[in-house]
Amino acid sequence: MDFVEIGGVKIEKTAALAPMASVADHAYRTVAKGFGAAYCVGEMTSCKGLCYSDRKTAELLTVTDCERPMAVQLFGAEPEFISKAVKIAEQYRPDIIDINAGCPMPKIVNGGAGSALMKTPELFGEMIRAAVESTEIPVTVKIRKGWDDLQVNAVELAKIAEQNGAAAIAVHGRTKQQLYSGKADWDIIKAVKQAVSIPVIGNGDVDSVESCVGMYRYTGCDLVMIGRGSYGRPWLFGQIRDYFDDKTLRPEPPLEERLEIMRRHIELLCEDKGERTGIKEARRQAAWYIKGLNGAAKLRFQFGSMNTLADFYDLIEQIKGEL
């Protein structure tokens, strides 16, 4: 097994779980790590929220041993706040602290954070430098290809990140304006890798062992990061790990095993957040797990209407009964 080191943190060179707000929570990360995800990044956390002692925001920073190596991710647009937020984040003992400069969502961008930092390179550099100077923990940053097709500046930003002390940079091969549509540009990931000496993490359109291997080969990146490609398929991390371990191409698990994985995932979700909130969020997770099944549309409606764990268990038994 090959490894990449990010600021002294040793990570298997297989596949990492991307930070995804309201998706890659503790339950999701735990299941993904159980299947062999090499590295996880937590949900993005507001620097201001941390500084103003927002309880919900602080909960996003919790790191459990089973999730390591793991980064917590901060977003903001004011260097003075990120300095304070990093000090607070340190208390949760993350392996790495990541700065979000890639989120395209309006509520983040309109505050000057996320992808908006790509339009302000000087501030982008100041944010990284402020974080680096406030901690001994490695600081990384996640960016996109650029703001739009007329403002593709990932290479410029990667150089700025390196100059200001970032230990690694993750690149999503889409612009802010693309959101998650269209095709990810692996050429920009390759260009960033050729432009800097710090590790580069590639992200975008990886949803199989073949595409993971393809990204490594095409871009030369140091680590592949998977987001939406893992929805309802956390075993993908295990398939990738097995391939890099002994070139085994493991098939998709049978339906009964998939249902058991989903059950463990949803139970963890309810354990973490309480049954009421957990089941509400489980409706979306369940829809991903059953994608492609016969009668998936009807099942999505049924899972979307469940209100209790008992409802969830009944639906699983219903599916098993039709096997």
Nearest Cα neighbor of 47 from 97, 96, 1 is 97
The least confident of 25-39, 54-68, 87-101, 275-289 is 54-68
Distance CA 284, CA 270 (A): 14
pLDDT digits (tens, 9 = 90+) for 193-211: 999 999 999 999 999 999 9
Mean pLDDT, range 308-314, rounded to an integer:
97
What's residue 286's pLDDT? 96
List of residues 6+ apart from 246 with CB closer than 8 A: none
pLDDT number for residue 22: 87
pTM higher than 0.85: yes
Residue pLDDT, tens place only, 86-104:
999 999 999 999 999 999 9
DSSP 3-state assignment of 178? coil
pLDDT value at residue 323? 67
Coil/strand/helix, residue 101: strand
* pLDDT > 90: percent of the chain: 93
pLDDT, one tens digit per residue, over 132-173 is 999 999 999 999 999 999 999 999 999 999 999 999 999 999
Q: What mean pLDDT is reported for the chain?
A: 96
More confident call, 52 vs 196:
196
pLDDT of residue 161: 98
Alpha carbon of residue 142 to chain centroid: 10
The angle at the Cα of 208, spanning 149 to 210, to the nearest 5 degrees, equals 90
Cα–Cα distance, 62 to 200 (Å, whole number): 25
The answer on pLDDT for 56 being more than 80 is: no
Residues annotated as catalytic (active site), given as ranges: 103
- Write down how long the chain is: 323
pLDDT at 57 over 80: no
